[in-house]
Amino acid sequence: MMRDWLAGLSARERLILGAGGALAVPLLFYLLLWRPLATQHERLQQQVASQQALAAWMQDAAERIVTLRDRLPAPTAGDTPPREMITRALSDLQLSSRPLPGGQGDELGLTLSDAEFERVVHLLIRLQQAGIVPLGVDLRRAQEPGRVEARLRFAGSLAAASGSRTD
């Protein structure tokens, strides 16, 4: 059927049809294969650059953690309850928190939204120096550079030895 239709065309019409087909094949190749792959490649390159910048920032932050760890004075624990020490440390560092849902027993969980990374580090160092070591820390970058979303979980008894330190 196709052959009959082509045979019914004049030589000029067949030439135009062939030239159109010859132009359509590379155009379709470009539109359906090359351009989507090039766009995806560019997007992945941007993503790699973004992740490399994040890794460099995290490396710098890790170095700052090491230098800041020794700068904070160790608070005196005395007979202060651990929950009060945590609340006081949050207040001193001007961090606002909300309780983290799903804590078991007397476990304490906190969420720090859009918190300055250095302040969260200071909080963790101060609490560690007071012998309060978290059960879990989940830090995720926030929208703004240098800010994080933090979830902290502490044991209810908080029975870590006061002044103990792990490097």
User: How confident is the model over 110-155, as pLDDT tens digits?
Assistant: 899 889 999 999 999 888 888 888 888 888 988 888 899 999 988 7
What's the pLDDT score for residue 73? 58
What's the pLDDT score for residue 41? 96
Collect the ranges in the chain with pLDDT lower than 70: 69-79, 102-106, 156-167
What's the pLDDT score for residue 32? 93
- Give me 74's structure tokens: 């160790």
What's the pLDDT score for residue 164? 36
Q: How many CB atoms lie within 10 A of CB 99?
A: 10
Specify whether the CB–CB gap between 108 and 86 falls below 8 A: yes
Q: For the whole prediction, is pTM greater than 0.75?
A: no
What's the pLDDT score for residue 106? 65
- The residues near 138 (Cβ < 8 Å, ≥ 6 apart) are 150, 151, 152
What's the pLDDT score for residue 157? 54
Cα gap 123→147, rounded to integer Å: 14
* H-run or E-run covering 53: helix 35-69
